[in-house]
Amino acid sequence: MDALRTVVGIALIAVALRDIFDTLFYPTGGAKLNRIVSRASWLALRRLARSRPSLLGFAGPGALAAVVLTWGILIIGGFSLIWWANMPEAFRPPGEHGFLDALYFSLVTITSIGSGVVVVHAEALRLLAPIETLIGLGVLTASISWILSIYPVLARRRSLAHEVALVREAEETSGRRLLDDPSFAAVVVESLTEQLIAARRDLIYFPITYYFRGDDPRESLPSLLPYLIRIADEGSIQEESTALRLRSAMLRGALSDFAETLGHFLGLEGADARRAMEAYAHDHMRQPATGAPERRPA
């Protein structure tokens, strides 16, 4: 039984450390625990938000907290099992020590508080206590670094959404389409394409950012991406400007790539861009913005 506790404890610690490593250094090929916990948090809060969609705004921060908490529970629980497997022989004062004592010792060790009640006596285990403390400090540092790196990603994505919203609002207020001025439209489409490529790259390297839902509809990329599809489709058949036609085709390609990335979150691998974007908006409880303004008489 003691050997089994030790093996299970080591396995829990290894799972947590592997997921932390993948999250920070290899997010495209691992971090499965991160993805499972994030998705489960999203689905749970999305169910609660059916009657009040604004609650979904807590899903992203909640997923972050859930992932970090899961890492902590696995590491603390793993070390607790190891300590428990060596009680009471390896500890002082002598006596019957149970799992709660092992859990207490693991908590005070990983937080570097130290314990004067229960101490390691066996020489073979003395080095394990400072190792747990170092792991605890490392997880804390890694979690803070990860969280701080996420918010610039969200700022870039919201900046893209805001620019798309401004273009759409300009069309609505002026009664003119962006594509009525091919030279200006080519510049705008080029900028949007570059930002969309960056947003896809951010989503690949920071998949947890998928679960952040802003309160401002003008900064909601899920609702505004279908509008970009309309711009790309119309611009790619524009006959007046070769530059606009080519850049619109590039935007269509960027949208297809983004849709392919979204498919991994939505279970829609191989779906076309329009279907993936509409599913993205639905998953975030947003209405797709696809309308175009009526032309005003010249």
Q: What is the DSSP string of 96-126?
A: ---HHHHHHHHHHHHTT---SSSEE--HHHH
d(CA 67, CA 112): 22
d(CA 256, CA 40): 27
Q: What is the mean pLDDT of residues 180-198?
A: 94
Q: Convert the pLDDT of each residue in 40-78 to its tens digit.
A: 999 999 998 888 888 898 999 999 999 999 999 999 999
d(CA 143, CA 208): 13
Q: Convert the pLDDT of each residue in 211-263 to its tens digit.
A: 999 888 889 999 999 999 999 999 988 877 889 999 999 999 999 999 999 99
